[in-house]
Structure 1
């Protein structure tokens, strides 16, 4: 089955009312089940694809939190090791002070020597020495106490961070199983269709995308003329073009396979402008721009839940990692319902005006 046949999310409106050819009738006539229209099948596929993509982005978000938590655990472990080493050193210094104090008991106390001194100036010098030693001892004890408190606090933080890491690891496994189930549901529905039905669905899909693209272009939502990319945008776009033809894989960030947000985040990271990993966070955190001001390198966000993202390539086209079974490719910008667009290298202080966009098919 070609990967092209899996991209069926935008054709329900075009296919409404069209009926799939029924399976051959049995030799003995029996009541046939209600025939499903192409629109019915596409509605189910649209729902399953969106659920799979949403589950994938949830998995990606959990994976990012787990990565950050692992880094925190590593950092805290290193800090705790240093704190324990400092505590060991300060305890050693305290032990030396205690031994010195014990040794002084067997001899004449420095204070007694001060009282018995015949030379006042010499006695004063001894007083300064005694005062300095007292302050050093106080600092040593205070340093040891502070190191103990710091080591205890770091130990508690490290234990909590480790517990959080284990919790996130369990959640990641649950999210992974959720993605697999959604994809299994998609495969099951596609497997229930005949080759002829799949071919007809692909044809309707193509017509639906073409219709949505024509309407978007005619609306003027993309503005007039072509805009030049920024230097960083050009680098990001060049990277994305180099990935054309590589397979889609959910949860992947390259270099051999990508999912939708894995492709866009890696492209901008290579351009020197790191962005959030998931499409939801890219939509939530990056400055938004109206479609009429799109320039190559900008990101186009799709669906109300912001579960899909592609990179604008100019001339009404985007580069996207579509979904399981397909490869990174150039697609019409209206291949999916558009939520909006964001610009990763747009300075927040000069954020462009944002307006509602054409929703597509």
Structure 2
């Protein structure tokens, strides 16, 4: 028994010695180096950029859903009208059958054959041909209306499926937007007031640096085109919104997102344009940067996730991101993807 206890004690001592030996003990995790404010700024920018891309997806799905809803309403009206027409055609067919029954149940051809009056025979023959044509036309119209009704019903079903798909896209985009904005706000909330003020200054410094580099390229000396009449009205509308908050998915009048501002500004100028920055890029004519004029739209980032309106003198008006208000900024303060012209 004593030998067994001694062996156990020796084992424990050896084990403790091994654990305490240099290189064998578990090293304590090194504390993470504190991130610089510039790193925090870049992470926040990245989160808001992802939110902007998701906002564009949300707006696109919403626009498509609106179109599908309008088409479903139009098809529903066409279905109701078609059903009413079928009822009327059936009513006329029933009236013709009842008239034949009241005439003794004999078909017009038999009644004509029994006539002794030659003139009545000739008149009757003409009426029979007219009646046959009318009956044939009635049946053909009934068949066409039934086919149309079937087509309208099929199309309505297809549109309902598309509408549901767009609803799911909207919900997915909404979740993504909410997640990214919440993460960005949570990250900002960890900063003290002085750090938040410094963060804003870093943001402005980065924009100033990019704008200065853009201007130093000499691009502005080639940009001297004047706004069109519609472009001038669009600029007036957009600049009148300065100071209003950014809100994703908003099209005014009190809040806007980036493409909500540009699309509403051009609507106020009398020209409807696509709702999202990606569709504005895809569907509007492009112009060279050196040829842009006030009212033109500048699409930013590789994924076309942001848009601003050029107002002249190397500046844009835009709705930047959540937590910021509509403001004027340098046209080259962000990576320019393309310039498009709504009234080309």
* TM-score of the alignment, normalized to the shorter chain, above 0.5: yes
Secondary structure at 1:164's aligned position in 2?
helix
Provide closer, same or farther for how the CA distance between residues 295 and 106 of structure 1 changes in structure 2, counting only shifts above 3 A. closer
In the alignment, which residue of structure 2 is the partner of 1:126? 124
Aligned residues between the structures: 316
Corresponding residue number in structure 1 for 2:271: 273
Aligned equivalents of 1:99, 1:209: Cα separation in 2: 84
- Bigger-Rg structure (1/2): 2
2:139 maps to 1:180: no
In the other structure, the counterpart of 1:354 is none
* RMSD, matched Cα: 1.8
Q: How far apart, CA to CA, are the structure 1 residues paired with 2:67 and 2:30? A: 59
User: Residues of 2 paired with 1:326 and 1:297: CA distance?
Assistant: 22
Check the 8 A contact 1:297/1:312 in 2, yes or no: yes
CA displacement 1:49-108 (0-9 Å, x = unmatched): 11010011111111101111110111111111110110110111111122233334545x
Deviations 1:170-204 (A, max 9, x none): 33222212111110111121122233332333222
The equivalent of 1:51 in structure 2 is 50
User: Following superposition, which runs of at least 4 residues in structure 1 exceed 6 angstroms of deviation?
Assistant: none
Give structure 2 stretches of 5+ with no counterpart. Answer: 1-28
Report the TM-score, using the length of structure 1 for normalisation: 0.83
DSSP 3-state at the match of 2:219: coil
1:185-200 residue pairs with structure 2 within 5 A?
185-200=183-198
Aligned to 2:90: 91
Q: Distance in 2 between matches of 1:67 and 1:269?
A: 17
Partners of 2:40 and 2:108 lie apart in 1 by 97
Show the counterpart of 1:229: 227
Q: Which residue of 2 is the match for residue 42 of structure 1?
A: 41
**Shift in Å, 1:291:** 1.3
* TM-score (norm: length of structure 2): 0.87
Distance 1:81 1:106, change over 3 A: closer
Aligned to 2:3: none
Q: Is the CA contact (8 Å cut-off) linking 2:243 and 2:326 kept in structure 1?
A: yes
Residue 6 of structure 2 is matched in structure 1 by none
Q: How far off is 1:40 after superposition?
A: 2.4
Higher share in helix: 2
Moved more, 133-142 or 76-85: 133-142
